[in-house]
Structure 1
Amino acid sequence: MLKLHKRLELVKKLIHEDYPNATFLHIGPVGSGKTTFLMHLLYERLKEGFKCVYVCVKNSPKTFMWRMKKRNMDVEPYVKNGRLIIVDYLSPKAGIPPDSSEVGSKIVRLNNPTPTELSIMSNKLRGSDIEFIYVDSLSDIFMDFGFAETRKLLDIVIPRIRETCIGAFVLDKGVLDEMTENYIRSRFDGIVEYKVEESPFGIERYIRMFRFTLAKIDTRWHKLIIEPYGIRIE
């Protein structure tokens, strides 16, 4: 469940993505809450009846669904009814055999997990009534294929997403050198930043909308509190 301070209307817009078709880059250090935030964002979209795509790059679909269920967000019914399309990038690369279960049979498994095939897959999805696409994460694609191939992917996929829906991509801070990271940032309409700070009470996480080219925004940092079954932004 997503909980907000009642005064944070701009953060509410960020969370509910009340914007025109656009692409967002979620960037921050490992452990800053990027994936957890997007998991909750995805679940909110599904509950509202939207059709979504989740591209599993960092985790297998089985691990992704287990993590969702652990946070009290069971997505299996949405996979079964076609509201959630899971694209499996990791399993073929890792040599994990196909899942023959009812849910496993619904998963779109890439035969050859490369940026080129991801691009082809995105083209096939253009005719669908998809509202949101989430990719977690770009970091692994960069490490597997390097800047040139990943750049080609973004140059093709980002315009396609803008034509039809909203896209969110995750990138770990520090994976790329500063010049490359700045270039990647420039490709997206919006940049959502995360940071982690030490405090006397332990680790504290923060989130902000750093830039959005399509609307005036609040760029202040807000505390991101991750709870067992939800998140809060204050």
Structure 2
Amino acid sequence: MHTSHITRISTGVKGLDELIEGGLIPGRVYLITGPPGSGKTTLAFHFLLEGARHGEKGLYVSLIQKPEDVVKDIAKYDPSIFAYIKTWKIILYDLGPVLWRETEKVPTWSSVLFRIKELSETEKIDRLVIDPVTAIEFSVSNPARKKAELARFIRAIEDLGITAYLIGEMTDMDRYTEEHYLTSGVIMMHYFMHKNRMIRAIQILKMRGTKHDMDMKKVIFSDNGIIVFNKSPFEEEV
């Protein structure tokens, strides 16, 4: 099938859909990666809000930050998020207390993924975000086992027809994890200093079934959130 004939769903980010042939292929799992503070969670909430606006149900699974604090930050870009949460169009699921409590045995990678799958299936979720999936890596000592369990989880989510973002912290840009290989797409967020100014950029490293280039593209954070431009972030402003 020609890629232009595949049904697409919007990322909710202005300018991003145009870089990936009109949007994401639904029912697939994507990795959003990059260093801390690069905009990964904001990108993910654009995705959830876009679904909510079209009657889809979203699930945000937080493994570190309190989801209420994250929502307050996102509301600066789009206050409608409070209404979607109130009407259960976007569900907040805080797994942090379960993951980090010291009084009980640390849950395994597979048990955390099972909880997420179970809730996604029960609530008939359309769009899922796990933030950050790398928070539960410590519970797996065997890389081969982690790969197998993650592969089963991704297959289960895709079998449910859910489109998902796995958010991963990446401080070593030369280190690739199982998520990079098992997911259908990898979007990397960047920021760095260039000629005494801060540069923000986005890069489509991988997107199965989609024509795209791998060049960095300019990103700005506006009053309405992230905007992507189909041009190099190194181009000087006129």
Structures share a fold, TM > 0.5?
A: yes
Is the helix fraction higher in 1 or 2?
Answer: 1
SS at match of 1:155: helix
Q: Residue 173 in 1 paired to residue 170 in 2?
A: yes
| 1:156 corresponding residue in structure 2 | 152
5+ residue gaps in structure 2? 1-11, 230-238
| 2:94 corresponding residue in structure 1 | 88
Determine which of 189, 204, 214 is the counterpart of 1:209. 204
Q: Distance in 2 between matches of 1:147 and 1:228?
A: 44
SS at match of 1:3: coil
Q: Distance in 2 between matches of 1:224 and 1:11?
A: 15
Name the CA shift for 1:42/1:73 in 2 (closer, same or farther; >3 Å).
Answer: farther
| 2:15 corresponding residue in structure 1 | 4
SS at match of 1:82: coil
Q: Distance in 2 between matches of 1:144 and 1:227?
A: 38
The letter for the 2-side match of 1:120 is F
Determine which of 26, 29, 34 is the counterpart of 1:23. 29
Determine which of 131, 134, 150 is the counterpart of 2:129. 134
The letter for the 1-side match of 2:14 is K
Report the identity percentage.
21
Q: Residue 69 in 1 paired to residue 75 in 2?
A: yes
Q: Distance in 2 between matches of 1:176 and 1:146?
A: 22
TM-score, length basis structure 2 = 0.75
**TM-aligned CA deviation for residue 61 of structure 1:** 2.0
**TM-aligned CA deviation for residue 124 of structure 1:** 4.5
Q: Distance in 2 between matches of 1:182 and 1:115?
A: 15
Q: Distance in 2 between matches of 1:192 and 1:176?
A: 13
How large is the RMSD of aligned CA atoms in angstroms?
Answer: 3.0
Name the CA shift for 1:4/1:183 in 2 (closer, same or farther; >3 Å).
Answer: closer
Aligned residues: 213
Q: Distance in 2 between matches of 1:75 and 1:145?
A: 35
5+ residue gaps in structure 1? 96-111
- 8 Å CA contact 1:33–1:205 kept in 2: the answer is no
